[in-house]
A and B are shown apart, each in its own frame.
Chain A
Amino acid sequence: MFKLTKKHLISFLVAASFLLLLAGLIPSSRTAILEIAKNPLIVLNLLRREIGGFIFYHRNYLENEKLKNENGLLKNRLNQTVEIGLENSRLKQLLSFKQKAPFRVIGARVIGRSADNWSSSLIIDKGEASGIRRGFVVISHLGLAGRIWETAKYTSKVLLINDPNFGVSAISQRSRQEGLVCGTLGNSLVMKYLPVDSDIAVGDEIITSGLTEMYPKGLAIGKVIKVGKEFSGLSCYAIIKPAVNLSDLEEALVIIP
């Protein structure tokens, strides 16, 4: 069996130091590998889409019919909303409200996902060349999806909202109760640091509060599905179902501040 001699210990320590040194140098090599992997990832992703389309043909057909009907209804509603929006802007001008600068977005395709089970991330096909930088917010048409974690020239890695590294200040749309939304690696998020007497209930819509830098106020995060008390009894938490279906995300929008 193993005998831990002085020689073994020294060689182990040297190897460990070398690896730690290497760990510091690795981010630059990682971006280079990501650039090399971009095209194979795009091809494989197209293949995956085609396979998916073939496997789920019947489901997609029915869904398409349903969505066509829904689309007609939504077009009507959109017209009404546009009218209300125009009226709103006219009234705001009348009241001399300070207009908020609208944000610019860049559309990107999802070309890959996290290769391990301990993080939740995406790889998108836009990078520094398109003006994307670390920390930029990523959304879908349904709401907040994540933020940019790492950028290469033509690709970027997106940290999704259900990753344990993720945290954003959020409020309940109904009661304006504030808390911190974090990822749990599962299909739900957790809103922490809520006071015991907080006014938060199942069904409440949770949106970004605008207090975290870069995150515009009012982005939909999800809906409360459960409220509970922390083990210590000093605070509450709320379990949130994300507004965005993170496992099906194929296109994303990056907000350029």
Chain B
Amino acid sequence: MKNWLFLGAIFSSALASSVLFNYFSLFGVKPDLLLICAVASAVYLPKRKALFYCFFCGLLKDTLSINYFAANTILFCLLGWLIIRLAKEFNLDDEYIFIGLIAAGSLLTSLATRVFFFYASKQVPLGIFLRVLLIGCFYTTLIAWLAIKSIPFWEKFIKKNNADQNT
């Protein structure tokens, strides 16, 4: 995939999660589209590019939300680095493993956020924390699964479009 296309996809995901997904939130919880982009780049792209995209995803998430410091930028970079390390040991090029990585990434980033909250003395009731943690993980994984399942459809669509243009 061309660089600008991937950057465009990341930017669109950030805008969509900031504006459009307010209508599609599940119990007030939105899917983490930028996490999906970060994990996808870490799994499918070369190391340096992947780390850059992870950094960009984190930076966008920090830009569109409120944090004392660049927590998401650091978390996404660490997550990307961990996935790259894992990819050296195992073959991650499988859709179920990808879905599993998304779920694990979502849980890990949420738990890390909870730790930040604890050290910043911010109180989030346990019920709300668990709701965001579990529904967020489920919803993000669901969207990632739908995105993977829709890839063949888009491939067909693009091929058909190209064939129509050629004829």
Contacts and interface: CB of A to CB of B under 8 A. Distances in A.
A26 B59 contact: yes
A112 B59 contact: no
Interface string B63-84: 1111101101110011001000
A149 interface: yes
A37 B8 CA distance: 12
Interface residues of A, number: 47
Interface string A165-191: 100000000000000001011110000
B159 to A, nearest CB: 29
B15 A118 contact: no
A34 interface: yes
Given A44-B20, A48-B20, A121 B59 contact: no
On chain B, which size bracket covers the interface?
35 or more
B14 A115 contact: yes
B63 A37 contact: yes
B23 to A, nearest CB: 7
A163 B66 contact: yes
A114 B66 contact: yes
A187 B20 contact: no
A17 to B, nearest CB: 11
27 contacts: A1-B89, A19-B73, A20-B74, A26-B62, A26-B69, A26-B70, A37-B11, A40-B11, A40-B15, A41-B18, A48-B23, A51-B23, A111-B19, A112-B64, A113-B22, A114-B18, A116-B30, A116-B61, A117-B29, A117-B32, A118-B132, A119-B67, A164-B124, A184-B123, A184-B124, A185-B124, A185-B128
Interface of B: 11, 14-20, 22-23, 28-30, 32, 34, 59-67, 69-70, 72-74, 77-78, 81, 85, 89, 110, 113, 117, 122-125, 128, 132, 136
Given A48-B20, A119-B67, A184-B128, 16 more contacts: A15-B77, A19-B74, A19-B77, A23-B73, A44-B20, A114-B18, A114-B64, A115-B14, A116-B32, A116-B61, A116-B64, A118-B65, A121-B65, A149-B66, A165-B66, A186-B125
